[in-house]
Structure 1
Amino acid sequence: MSKHSNLYFLFSLLLLPFSLLQASPNPDTQLLLSFKSSSDPLNNLNTWNLSTDPCTSWSGVSCLQNRVTRLVLESIHLRGSLQPLASLTRLRVLSLKQNNFTGPLPDLSNLTSLKLLFLSHNDFSGEFPVSISSLNKLYRLDLSYNSLSGQIPDSVNRLTHLLTLRLEVNQFSGPIVDVDLPDLQDFNVSGNRLVGQIPNSLAGFPKSSFGNNQILCGSPLDECKPVSSGPTRPGPSSGALATPVVSSSPSPIPSTTTTTAPIKSGNPRHVSKMSRLAIISIIIGDVIVLAVVSFLLYCYVVRRRGEKGASNILEGEKIVYSSSPYPAAMGQQAERGKMVFFEGARRFELEDLLRASAEMLGKGGFGTAYKAVLDDGEVVAVKRLKEGSGGGNGGKREFEQQMEVLGRLRHPNVVGLKAYYFARDEKLMVFDYMPNGSLFWLLHGNRGPGRTPLDWTTRLKIAAGAARGLTFIHNSCKSLKLTHGNIKSTNVLLDKVGNARVADFGLSVFAPPTSSAPRSNGYRAPEALDPRKTTQKADVYSFGVLLLELLTGKCPSLGDNLGPGTEYSGVVDLPRWVQSVVREEWTAEVFDLELMRYKDIEEEMVGLLQVAMTCTSAAPDQRPKMNHVVKMIEEIRGVEVSPSHEALDSDSPSVSEDTCTVSQ
């Protein structure tokens, strides 16, 4: 009996941690509820209650491993103290912009994981919080539009990862600290009471970063000028800074007490009195004129800001999605779309995309692609589909079903779809960003002196990688027979290690009607008259043209706006041209002159040429399947088929038939 009791006791001890884990609530729940009770008098956080899980049901809350890591509560009239939030030790993102918080900021030194802190447009007071300087993982810090005062401490230099430091429209005074933050991209201290010379480390920022202060000078503002001292009149030292006459508030009138030699003729007392009155009158007149002019300028600027405030904000934040529904739908949740993320993707809000710095990567038949840098430094590629692509309200379900299928495709040679956004007038797709550009640019960009040619080994590697990616798409779903629909060199991208990845796949179903479709390009199969009805055999033809482009260095199409600074070695019907050259037994004339510098590759080039010509056969049934194309390319150098290709003849080994299933 004693032995059985001991076994039972040991077994109970083993189960105890699991039972406690199941019974334990989220450790951050009470902290959040304490914050709500003191800061949410209007009960805008009505989803926050003990009967639900903060990580799944509470608005503005995101979690990782059952701990709160992201808290975004903006423009909901919160007030009171942030003290309870200072104990959320796993918090990475805290945004409380445009609320009604007052008083000094609490000690935030426990938020050691914090990367983004946005507290702008409140009424926080007191000095710059010293505790913030200990948050050495911060990327973005925005304390603008508050009532903070005192000097900006030099301890901000401890924030060595800082990308953004915004302190504008507060009451900071004194000189600007010599900021030494090598990664700083966004800096603003305008609208304070700062004085002195702008440090050289900040001279590269625009004038707008320093405007509306008391007495600031130095690049990018006016040069600092020393005040000279007369030989018989004491004055400031030669290193003192002159008061700029453009100051918005008049500086104090300097004392007129002087030590001078006595005047020996006339009435010295009368002359001295008259000169003082004249000087004071002139100074007062100048001050009045400056005050009136400053007031008029101030009224003009305020009015202009009121009229153009929204556009200035959009321009300042580099928002590239100009017709995005987000700003218009701030108070219309029912009409607004939402970001939908796929498994493994880091979640963010549409607003994060809107305020991300962005640059256009290129325009294609289905839309425009942008590189977007989010607040925490993550880089993504965003494709903004053209108006008319993806259907209107009636096509929403079709669009979502297609995205659901595409979002599950994961392969080393396919660009992963991370998320999408659908609204009536806006459709966005978010992808992994490929930092090494496209095959098109490697082949055709910067032709001429100084160009680095694309060597043969790299071309062969890219061909094999792109073939594997396309094969994966074709074999990932038997029931749907997925196609790419838009194979071309601009849609073969290179990741950070140089592997080829196929992009822009599966969008042909959203192509506009034939009459308004993008003009035919040199990659399209002869039978593919309707871009909305592509086949896998048509993809094989397009891939064959891509191989010919790799071999010849010639561009088969100018169908896209590929940007300035790009030159081409020729725009031709590649399959027809190659066939005519080979027919005349001038095969060597086919190959790119840049390849002629490499030795002992003629046989390999001819081998790839044969694969390309087979793929571009006029009759679809004479073209091979893509899994056979992969094997032929790999056999050019005698490379064995890797284990990942053992199932290429059947359905993809890494994607089951569930990939094709969409919820009804």
Structure 2
Amino acid sequence: MAGLVSPSPLGLLMVLLTLTASPQLSLSKDADVLLKFKEALAANGGDAALPDWVSGKKPCKGKVRQWTGVICDVGGNVRGLQLQNMKLSGNLSIDALVDLPALRTLSFMNNDLEGPIPDITKLPALKNIYLSNNKFSGEIDDGVFNNLRSLKIVSLSSNQFTGRIPTSLVGLTRLLVLMLDDNKFEGPIPDLQQPSLKLVNVSNNTLDGQIPAGLSWMNASLFEGNKNLCGPPLDVPCRSTSPSSKKKTSPFLVVVIIVIAIGLVLAIIGAILFMRRSRQQEQMESGVLPPSKTKKINPSEADKLEQVSVEPRGGRNKVADEEEHGKLMFVKEGVQSFELQDLLKASAEVLGCGNFGSSYKAVLFEGPAVVVKRFNKMNAVGREEFQEHMRRLGRLSHPNLLPLMAYYYRKEEKLLVTDFIPNGSLAYLLHGRNGSNLPPVDWPTRLKIVKGVARGLAFLYEELPMLTVPHGHLKSSNVLLDDSLEPLLTGYALVPVINPIHASQVMVAYKSPECAERGRPSRKSDVWSFGILILELLTGKFPANYLRQGRAGMDLASWVNSVVREEWTGEVFDKEMSGTKNGEGEMLKLLQIGLGCSETDVDKRWDLRMALQKIEELKEKESDEEFSSCASEVGANLSRAMTDDDFSFSTNN
């Protein structure tokens, strides 16, 4: 589950944007570059926190980092450095990092580094720079950001920078977050107008002048602590004229202007009264009475009137405004609440990038670690329906469900917040252990996971009877495992709020055979997904069904059938599955359940209640006689008229 670690003030909304293709670089060269950088740190006593940065060991093994603080991409390149809370001191030189062309993120937050800002101009491809909570000082050159056109996040909070804020920030067209709070910056705020901006914090400096109009929609707390700032969103009006201009204005001219203005106002009032009197006279002469002040309104007008009655003059509901501009809405009871700004300041680590968007871990400064999933294809319903559905999910409580903690609503994108589960997903346990120290998953553990998944799925069917597919996206990467390897379902019940076209392309339930025939899932589509999951657990093979757009076919189930249809040979089961002694018969029974749940014909496919009943009867062990009897029964049931060439299976591990 290792991924891009990007501590950031935007930890939630935009870490995914830093994941772009990077040039290939030999791992040995990455190691050489980082060792040179370590030498530079050692001059200030800063390499004590990097004992595993040694020659002969690669920084990355695929996406898995082997050196402390290194961020790796899928190709094994060094994508970033996260050297936080390591007591680094002295001046920071990043010259050695020029030879890392894949480098996109640098974080040195919460150290004791000092001196001027590092020469980041030598890293033009940099996307994120985090230097907050250090002792950097001095003025920043006005043109320092001129060539850093890819920058999205700049975090310089809690240092001792002085002088004016560099105007070259205005040219960063991709800028998302700018954190300059708790420094000694002075002068005006540059005219930042980038439509991409999500957060600008300049609080607690000595800035002056009017806040740029492009930032007026942000929270007032982001500008507090600057005595001479004025304009929205602060409640401090800006003086329209300066003292020098007032001295140049003649008192006589002021009097003339006032007299002319009063004259114009009186003339306008007189014209209005004259027109009203003339209209009344015409109505009296024609015998037509003035219209009543109370008029009948049609339904569409009534809707508009109702909206106006609950909305402020800006035309938006106050609660809607709060959500639109960064309010987290908590739906889980008994949890420690926090603000979106707390989340934005947290460090973030990408856990995965799926078809819906990014999932990443955010570690709050004071509080738990949480997982944030960002969705950009969740516009199937309006705000009120979305809120109601999220509240419904927040009320769900079951030992095998990962509860929804909070959500963030914007028309363009949504965020769903849940607890962080350190053990990761079932997919990682089954397929991501290559090169790791994790032991093979034994049969009792796999049986325990199947039972937990079945119970969680049954609970969803019971509590959400209005949904055709209460889960909709059941797959091994959406089954998390707690400390005792008890399964927790996630990604459930999102079909009602996902765009239908997108759902049909990527959600697992839409890959069931009935979707290929009728174009829509059935009540048993989740059962089909569950059957594929059971076969994945037993065989250890990754289903190709998860990887394809649209219909995925029945590859895994068909492969199992082709292996065991004549006689059971044992080759179908995962060879790494330990603890199978005296349990083969039960494994065969579960294999039969998996095939019954993944039956192509919906009418022949088992329903969830039957599957749950059969699964609950399974045991870890049984006698040899029971095993022989079960093997014969399974072999007979799996005898089908098909050739070995009809189906093929791709592991895609």
Q: TM-score, normalised by structure 2?
A: 0.46
Larger Rg: 1
